[in-house]
Structures are given as structure tokens and as C-alpha cells.
Amino acid sequence: MKASGSFAKRLSLNIISATGLLLILVALLLGFFSYIVNYKSAVKEASASLENNLLDIEKMLTDVEASTNSITWLLEKFNDNGDAIIDVAEHLVTSDTNIVACAIGYEPFEFDDNSVYFCPTAFMEGDQIRSKILGSADYDYQLMDWYLIPRLLGKPYWSEPSFDSDGSGRLIASYSKPLYHENGVFFGVIKADIDLKWLTEKVQAIKPYENSITVLAGRNASYITHVDSTKILNETLFTQALEAGDEKGLMVAKDMIAGNSGVQHFGNTRENGGIIVYGPMDNGWSGAIICSYSDIYSGVRKANLITLLIALLSLVALYYTDKSIIQRLTQPITEFAYSALNIGQGNFHARIPEIKTQDELRRLHDALGYMESSINNYIAELRTTTASNERFESELNIASAIQMQMLPKDFPNCDEIDLYATLHPAKEVGGDLYDFFTNGRNLYFCVGDVSGKGVPAALYMAITRAAFRFIAGLELPAEGVVQKINNSFCDGNDSGMFVTMFVGCINLDTLEMKYCNAGHNPILIISPDGKPEYLHAKPNLAAGLFEDFPYQGETMQLEKGSRLVIYTDGVTEAEDRVKNLYGEERLEQFAAKEDTAEDSVSFLTNLAASIKSFTLDNDQNDDITMMSIRLK
Amino acid sequence: MLGKRTVTIALAIVTAIALHARETVRFMPAWTPQAQFAGFYVALDMGFYDEEDLDVVIEHMGINSSKPGIVRIAEGEIDMIGSHPIQALIARDAGTKVVNTLQVTQNTGIMVVSHKPIVNLQSLEGAKIGRWQSGFSEICELSCKANNLNVIWVPFLNGINLFLSGAIDATVAMSYNEYNLLVEATGGIPEENCIHFSDYGYDIPEDGVYVTEEYYNTHRETVEKFNRATCRGWDYCIEHPDKALDIVMKWTEKTGIRTNRYHQSLMLKSMNGLIVNPRTGKADYSPIPEDKFNRLIQALIDMQYISSPTSYKEFIK
């Protein structure tokens, strides 16, 4: 993505991002540790609260036990005095405000030989103490839990809480103690009922957190207290877990009724989860406090939220502060940018901002100054070089023109011959040459190729052409012409230049041709019937290599209607893109296809086209010189 | 002239009222309101009894009452009771001539739950086992006696606290009630701690409707109407258990019974299972088969629960 906005803005954003990331990391760590600390604190607080309250409840129950136990000796002593027994029951109810009723049940025929049932009962009715004798076939207390269980167990028993049968809706629990004669024979049970209203209120008040729920359950797991009153004695610790198939809930409930204490996590998320802290009581009941995580962590969450808000505000403030500082610090960079832009637009003397500090900006200032100075120097050198090149190019163009002007332009097309020649240098000037002239009835001609290219070759070309025209004018044989040119070249040829050349002289009357080939390409002779054939002359060295080299000339008789094609190696060594050469064979094939009566201009024009169609747009790498002499 | 017509119309109305007089039936289930008696509550609540021109009043024994329904019907406090055949036969032998007019369940749900694993009936040798004072556990006693087991039976009123307190080694329980209460109180009862008497050849049908012979002879049509509407009530329970459960919960709430919907739903499911014939998939209100009845009579005589036999025709109506 392409960066947008100012550098100061982006740098600020980067700093803010990094800082923000760091802050988030720190906040996460802080949050994590806060959660752990809160969790441990919650467990500790809930456990302590539960333990203290269960101890309070146990103390109250113990007081009831003590009150009841303290009067049993009276019953054992006065078990045949009905009024005294009722007095004992009433005394217990009036002396202990926690006790709301007292029943003393006897075994069949224990009190009265004729009576199966005898169960004096004292109870509070408003603020009045009342009493009555219970027991009948329809109210067989001897089969009830409060009587039967302590009788069978032989020890006191706290009955499971139940709603009072008097229809008051009062939740009561009973402490029952078996009674024995001095001889150890069981004769009845005394029962003290307590109103559990205070217990419900006390348990409901246990709230380590605002929404905490505290429950108390009996040995049979029935809820004795619960925030949802419809569950009291209707449901057990297991009911919901059984219905929902909640294995964890079952495990906790089992642990509770087994008389264990513990802490368990429940729920799947921090939203609906929490902890349950539970513990037992001496009488087999158990209590539990349920605290939701939303309660436990509400403080942490608020603190985290405030921290987050402060962090966000700090980041915003930091952003604008950073941006302002960075803008001030990077102002010179902006100015440097303008300076660089000015320089780029050609103002190589643009003002570079002053930097007084010794830092990166100072180094940037120096570098920009050095760049400006270097550019100015380079431009000055470039101007000089360009002027020099332009001058040289101009001179070279003049040289090219002069070189072309050296070549003869009046091509003979008379009754005997039709001659035409072309020279296309590879550069502005070249080392190829051709020349011809007639002297009487003799046609002198030559085609040469000076070694090397460019200006040195062009100079030698000019010398060779001048030497040919002068020496050939002395009517020397062809080999003599070459020998003279060789010797003049060898004299003071320190640069080692040489020239290959084909020098010929045709007698226009007899059509006899004398010639000498000094290291040049074989010429092509096309017979009147159109058959091309290379003329393989005697081997001679190129001129300019060895002084006084004995060049050998040759003579041949030409026929009317034949054509001579003299050329330089620029023709046969013309290259296509893949470095294939045009070659002698392709030249021979071209010549074979051409009309023998075709004039020399057309012939060479077609030959040039053939070479071009071979090389296509590949650069010409050598001078191309061609001469066509058609004997009519 | 006008007076004569008025008298005629008045006589016609009186006659019509007399012909369509609605009869009051006092029915008492075997225990306090619970799904075990859902069919009766549904029949009343859905108006099935009403459609039979019956004003049915359902009465319950108190939780702390130890006076069985058999005694109440003998004393004329009620007209019909829900009871078990064994209990009815014992009462009949004792002089309360009751007859079976409808058999609701076809199997027994009686079982014994122990603190320790029970391998077979012999595992109960010497055990102190709680049984209901109001009856309904006679099969257990009968089977132990038949196997010459020395069992100490401890009568109690109801509930599971006696067993949970550890005062007894085992307790009788109904698979649809006390067993589920024990599961709800402990989180689960190992199957090896339970013994089902239906597995030991004592699969005696349980819940049925009983009246005295005298009542039957004088109110035969009433009994038929009551039973017809009751069967409709149970059919409804099987087809619409959730709606039936709503009606049961209304009764438990109205009478202040401490229970919960989950427990009652399990009970209703068990009851429906005891009523539906597994072979046909439909409710089966057939009377006890005569051969099974005769074997039961013989066993009761052998074990000295009754002194003289009662004929099938006398008992099953």
C-alpha cells in the first residue's frame, strides 16, 4: 500500500502504534494478574464468609442441643408424672427463645399401660405457651423420622427441615434426643423444634458480592435455604444437575453431601461462569456460596476500562505532541526536499537550508551541497565535451562529404561498357574505395578495402585512390600499379595499415583484361549466358605489408555480354541477426538469377536490396562497395 | 287450565333432573398428590368425570397420617380408593370386603435399595429394612418370607430420610418414586444396590381402583362411569405427558406437597411404562390374569397373610 500523509504523521502513527501495542501488552499482563489476584481474593473471602456463618449457625444449633440435653434428666426422673412432663416441655420452649415447640414422645404403654401413644407437646402460640397431648393411629409419631431415627440410631439426631404441619408455612428443624431409663432401656424421644426463619434471613444476608447466592442443604441434599424460595425442600442440590446432565454439578453436590469442603469453577465463559465455595456443618448439613465471575471481576473490569480510557487519551495526546515535535525536527528535510526538487528542475544553484547541528541533517546538508557542486562541475565538463563532439561530428560530416566527392560520379555507359559503382560506409567515413577512368581505349578500374575503419581508414582510402589515379595514369600494368602503391604505402607506414584491392584494365577494343588481385575478394564474372563464376586470381598480399613484394598480374579475355562484379568483403560478410554471412554462394546465386542484359545501376540496386533483405534491420558492420562492369 | 299445565311442566323438570342426577364420588389415591395418580387428576381436570355426570372429589391422606385408605373405605369416609391387590386381599380377609373394579398398572415397581450391593434375595438375610406402615410393601415381605429370610422390618411413614440417616440397612422403594428421590438426594444409586422383585417372580400388578362389595352392588353404573373416565385420563397422560404434568403440578402446589417437576416427570414416565403393554404399545387396563391371581392367593395363604381364599370372580369385577 502506498504510504500517504506527511512523514511526521506517519512517524507519529508508527510511534503511537508501537506505544499502543506496548500499552496493550502491559494492560493484558496487568489485567491477567489482576484477575488472578481477584480470583484468589474472592475464594478467600467467600470461604471465610461461609466458614464464619456456618460456625454461627452451628453455635445456635449447639445451644439448642445444650438446652434440650440439660432437661432430659428431669424426664428420666419424672416419667410417670404427666403434668411434670408437660412442665418440662413448656419450660424448654420458654427458656430458649430459639425453640418454638417441644414434644416428648413415649414408647407404647410406657407412660400408661393402656395407651399406645403419649406425646405431650408444648408450643408457642403468639406470645403464649400452649400444650396438648398428641399421638393416635392417625398421628403415629412413633413412625415419624424425628422419633424413629434417634431411636434406631441410639443418639441425637437433627431431622431434615420441613414445613410445619400446622399450616403456618414455617420452616422448622428438629433436634431429637433418645431417652433412656437408668437401666439403659429406651423409653422415648424428646424433640425441640426451631424456626428456621432466622436461618433463612441469616443465610440470605451472606453476600460477599452483590449477586452472590448462598444456599444451605440438608443431609438429603434438599435446599433448606435458597434465593428462589420455590426450590426450598422441593429440589435438591442434584435436581438441576440431573435434569441438565451436568456432570460437574453432580460432582460438586456429591462432594457437599459427603461432608467435604472445596472450591469449584462452573460455567463455560466468564459471562455465565463463576465459583462455588462449599463446606459442611457438624450436623450433616452443608452450605455453599455461589459467586459469578461478572461480580468477582466487576472491579477489575472497571479498573481496566478506566486504564484503557486513560491509555487511549494518552495515545491521542502523544500523537499530536509527537507530530508537532517531528514536524519541527523534520522541517529542514522538507526544505531539503524543495532544494532537491529545484535542483531536479535544473536550478543547480538552489539554496540549501542552513543546518547548525552536527547530526544526520548536517550530513544530509553536506551531501546535498556536494551533489549540487558535482552536478555543476559535471555540467561544465559536459558542455565542453559536447562542444568538442559537435565540432568533431561536423568535421566528420565534412570528411564524409569530401570522401564521397573523391569518388567518380560520371559512370560510363557507352557502346562498349556499362559501369556503375556504389559505396556505403558503415560509419561517417570508411576505408573502401573504388575508382575508374579511361585512358584512350583502356578502362582502368579498381576496388579496394583499407584495413580498419573510421578516419584512419578514410585517410588511407584517400591516399590509395589518389595513388591509383596517379600511378594507373602512367599506363603501368595492373601488377605494376599495385606494386607502386604497395611501396608508397610501406614507406613510413608505422600504423601498419594496408589495403586489399583489385586493379584491372580492360582494352575496350579487344576486351582483354589485365588485372592484379592484391589480397582482395575474388571478382565475379557473369558470362553472356548468365552463368556466374568467381575469378580466382594468383595469390598476392594486400598492399602496404611488405615493400617490393613481387605482385603478379594476369590476363584474361572477356566476352561481349559478360559482366564483372567487383566488391569488398562488406558484401559477402554482411551479417543477419544470428551472425550468418551473406557469403559468396548467396552472391553467386543472386548473380545467376539476374538478367544478363540488365544495366549496371539496376543490377547493383537489386544486389543492395538482396543484401538488405538478408540482413534486415541488423546494423551494417562494414563498408559495402560494389562495382558492376557490363560489356556490351 | 293454566295451573294444570304448570304442574305438568314442573313434574317434567323434576323428572328430568332426577333422571340426570349427578352423583358424588369420593376417591382417595394411595398416597399424597403425585404423578402416580396423574390419570385421576387429568380425568377430573379435563372434565372426563363431568362428562359421565360424576362429581368426583379426590381426597388425600395427610403426609403425617398413618390411617390407610382401606380403613377409611371401611369406615365409609370415602367411596373408592386406589390400592394394591395384596393389600386389598389382606383387608378383605380381615373383614373389609373390597373388590377390584379397575386394574391400572400391569407390573410392579416395588424394589429394595440397600446401602451395600445386593447379589440376590439372600443378601437381605439379617438386614434391617424399612417398610411403609400404610402397606404396599407386602410383596417384599412375602418374597423374603418365602425364601426363609430373617429380615427385621422397620415400619415407617414415608420418605427416604430414615434410610439416608443410616438407621436401617435398606428400604423398600417404588421405582417411580422413592428410587428417584434417592437419586435426587445422593446423585445416583448403584444398580447393584437395588433389587427389583419383578425379577424374582413377584410381578404382581399394583395400582387399581377398589370399592366395597356393598358399594359395587349398589353403584355399579357409577363405578363403570368412574373407571371409563379414569382410563380416558390415563390415555391422555400417555399421549400428552407434558400437559398431564402441568395438571399434576397444580395438585402438588395446591396441597403443598414438596416436590419438583423433574421428579414428577420421571414418575409419570415410569407410570406410563407400567401401564402400556410393551407388546402392543397401547395402554392395557386388563384385570389381573386368573392364574396369576390364584397363585397370589395360594402364596398369601401359605405365608399366612390371609386365612381363607377369595375367588377370582368375587374379587375381580
List pLDDT tens digits, range B264-316: 999 999 999 999 988 888 999 999 999 989 989 998 998 888 999 999 999 99
**Cα–chain-centroid distance for residue A272?**
37
Looking at A195, A217, A236, the residue that finishes a domain is: A195
Q: Domain containing A95 — which CATH number?
A: 3.30.450.20
> Cβ of B164 and A138 within 8 Å?
no
Test the B interface: residue of A143, A147, A226 with most B CBs within 10 Å: A143
A208 Cβ partners below 8 Å, 6+ apart? A42, A45, A46, A49, A289, A291
Of the pLDDT bands very low, low, confident and very high (cuts 50, 70, 90), residue A167 is: low
Phi-psi region of B256 (alpha: psi -120 to 50; beta: other; left: phi over 0): left
B34 contact residues in A (CB cutoff 8 A): none
Q: At what angle do helices A197-204 and A7-69 cross, to 10 degrees?
A: 160
Lowest-pLDDT range of A622-631, B1-10, B300-309: B1-10
Please determine, for residue A12, whether its predicted confidence score (pLDDT) is greater than 50: yes
Whether residue A168 is predicted with pLDDT greater than 70 in this model: the reply is no
Task: Report the residue of chain A nearest B65, measured CA to CA.
Answer: A138
Instruction: Give the residue from B253, B262, B263 with the most A CB atoms within 10 Å of its CB, the best one to mutate.
Output: B262
C-beta atoms of A239 and B256 within 8 A: no
Rounded-to-integer distance, Cα B177 and Cα B265, Å: 10
Where does the pLDDT of residue B142 fall: very low under 50, low under 70, confident under 90, or very high at 90 and above?
confident
| Among candidates A138, A157, A234 on the partner chain, residue whose Cβ is nearest the Cβ of B258 | A234
pLDDT at A210: 87
Higher pLDDT, B130 or A39: B130
Name which residue leads in pLDDT, A113 or B130. Answer: B130
**B12 has which bridge partners?**
none
- A-B Cβ pairs (cutoff 8 Å, strict): 96
Do the beta carbons of residue A465 and residue A404 sit within 8 Å? no
Q: What is the mean pLDDT of residues B201-217?
A: 92
Q: Inform me whether the C-beta atom of residue A137 falls under 8 Å from chain B C-beta atoms.
A: yes
Confidence of residue A402 (pLDDT cuts 50, 70, 90): confident
pLDDT of residue A624: 94
> Which whole number is the average pLDDT over A568-581?
92
Which chain B residues are Cβ-neighbours of A219 within 8 angstroms? 161, 164-165
Name the β-bridge partners of B212. B98
Here the contacts of A34-38 (C-beta below 8 Å, separation 24 or greater) are A34/A300, A34/A303, A34/A304, A35/A297, A35/A300, A38/A296, A38/A297, A38/A299, A38/A300
Tell me what pLDDT residue B66 has: 56
Domain B110-200 fold is D-Maltodextrin-Binding Protein; domain 2 (3.40.190)
B165–chain A Cβ distance below 8 A for any pair: yes
Q: B23-106+205-306 and B110-200 share one CATH topology?
A: yes
Tell me which of A491 and A155 has the higher pLDDT.
Answer: A155
Cβ <8 Å between A236 and B167: no
A341, part of any domain: no
- Of all residues in chain B, the one with the smallest CA distance to A243 is B262
Task: Return d(Cα A486, Cα A483) in angstroms, integer.
Answer: 5
Of the two residues A223 and B12, the one the predictor is more confident about is A223
Q: Does B164 touch chain A (CB under 8 A)?
A: yes
Q: Which residues in chain B have their CB less than 8 angstroms from residue A241's CB?
A: 187
pLDDT tens-digit profile of A246-303? 998 999 999 999 999 999 988 766 667 899 999 999 989 999 999 998 888 888 888 8
Q: Which residues of B touch A157 (CB under 8 A)?
A: 165
A240 vs A220: CA distance, rounded Å: 15
pLDDT over threshold 70, residue A417: yes
B78: Cβ contacts below 8 Å, ≥ 6 apart: B26, B27, B28, B59, B69, B72
Mean pLDDT computed over A469-488: 89
The shortest CB-CB distance from B155 to any of A143, A222, A243 is to: A143
Report which residue type is found at B253: E
Nearest-neighbour CA in chain B from A191: distance (Å)? 16
Q: Is A236 on the interface with B (CB under 8 A)?
A: yes
Residues of A in contact with B188 (CB under 8 A): 250
Q: What grid cell was written down for A310?
A: 486513560
In a domain, A255, yes or no: no
A261-270 pLDDT tens trace: 999 988 766 6
Which candidate in A139, A152, A171, A231 is best for mutational testing of the B interface (most B CBs within 10 A)? A152
Domain membership of residue A340 (yes or no) is no
| Chain B residue with minimum CA distance to A241 | B187
Contact A509, A519 (CB under 8 A): no
**Mean pLDDT score, A89-112:** 92
To which H or E segment does residue B73 belong? Answer: helix B69-74
Q: Give the residue on A whose Cα is nearest the Cα of B158.
A: A144
Q: How many Å lie between the alpha carbon of A314 and the closest alpha carbon of chain B?
A: 56
Query: Strand order of the sheet with strand B152-156?
Result: B152-156, B128-132, B170-174, B110-114, B194-196
- What is the C-alpha end-to-end distance of chain A, expressed in Å? 80
Asked if pLDDT for residue B26 goes beyond 60, the answer is yes
Residues of B in contact with A253 (CB under 8 A): 187
CATH architecture of B23-106+205-306: 3-Layer(aba) Sandwich (3.40)
Say yes or no for a CB contact (<8 Å) between B165 and A157: yes
Q: Residue A145: which of B133, B155, B159 has the nearest Cβ?
A: B159
Is the predicted pLDDT of residue A367 greater than 70, yes or no?
A: yes
Closest CB to B66 among A137, A235, A257: A137
Q: Across the interface, do B133 and A143 touch by the CB < 8 Å criterion?
A: yes
Option in B62, B66, B161 nearest A220 (CB): B161
The amino acid at B246 = D
Rounded to a whole number of angstroms, the distance from the CA of B14 to the nearest CA of chain A is 43
Section A130-157 average pLDDT: 93
pLDDT at position B6, please?
A: 54
pLDDT digits (tens, 9 = 90+) for A422-457: 999 888 888 899 999 998 889 999 999 998 877 888
Tell whether B256 is within 8 A of chain A (Cβ).
yes
**A390 domain-assigned:** no
The answer to whether B160 touches B132, Cβ cutoff 8 Å, is no
CB of A170 less than 8 A from some CB of B: no
Residue from the list B155, B165, B186 with its beta carbon closest to the beta carbon of A153: B165
Q: Given this model, what pLDDT does residue A300 score? A: 82
Question: Which chain B residues are within 8 Å of A140, Cβ to Cβ?
Answer: 66, 133, 157
Nearest by CB to residue A238, choosing from B63, B67, B187, is B187
Closest-approach residue (CA) in chain A for B186: A254
Of B155, B167, B260, nearest to A235 by CB-CB distance is B260
The residues facing A578 across adjacent strands are none
| Identity of the residue numbered B282 | K
Mean pLDDT (whole number) for B43-51: 97
CB of A196 less than 8 A from some CB of B = no
Q: Where are the domains of chain B?
A: 23-106+205-306, 110-200
Residue B1 scores a pLDDT above 70: no
Q: Decide which of A169, A195, A221 is a domain's last residue.
A: A195
Number of domains composing chain A: 2
Question: In this predicted structure, what is the pLDDT of residue A415?
Answer: 85
Stretch A104-108: mean pLDDT, rounded?
95
Minimal Cβ distance to B64: which of A139, A160, A253: A139
Distance from CA of A176 to the nearest CA of B (A): 13
Chain A residues with CB-CB distance to B159 below 8 A: 145
Nearest Cα of chain A lies from the Cα of B241 at a distance, in angstroms, of 17
Q: Among residues A195, A227, A246, which one ends one of the domains?
A: A195
* Cα nearest neighbour of A223 on chain B: B185
Q: Which one-letter amino acid corresponds to residue A376?
A: N
List CB contacts (< 8 A) between B162 and chain A: 145, 148-149, 152
Do A222 and B165 make contact, defined as CB atoms within 8 angstroms?
no
Q: ipTM of this complex > 0.95? A: no
Compare all CA atoms of chain B with the CA of A161 and give the residue at the minimum distance: B161
What pLDDT is stored for residue A270 in this prediction?
Answer: 65
* C-alpha cell at position A614: 538478408
Q: Is A260 on the interface with B (CB under 8 A)?
A: no
Question: Residue A581 has what DSSP assignment?
Answer: B
pLDDT, tens only, B83-97? 999 989 999 999 999
Q: Is the pLDDT of residue B111 over 90?
A: yes
Residue B5 confidence (pLDDT): 56
A525 or B62: which carries more pLDDT confidence?
A525
- In this predicted structure, the answer to whether residue B263 has a pLDDT above a threshold of 70 is yes
pLDDT band at A489 (very low <50, low <70, confident <90, very high): confident
Does position B255 have pLDDT exceeding 60, yes or no? Answer: yes
Mean pLDDT calculated for residue range B243-260: 93
Instruction: Look up the CATH number of the domain holding residue A501.
Output: 3.60.40.10
Domain extent, residue A105, equals: 70-195
Q: Which of B156, B157, B186 sits opposite A257 (nearest CB)?
A: B186
Closest CB from A138, A159, A242 relative to B184? A242
Q: Which of A206, A192, A200, A202 is nearest to A169 (CA)?
A: A200
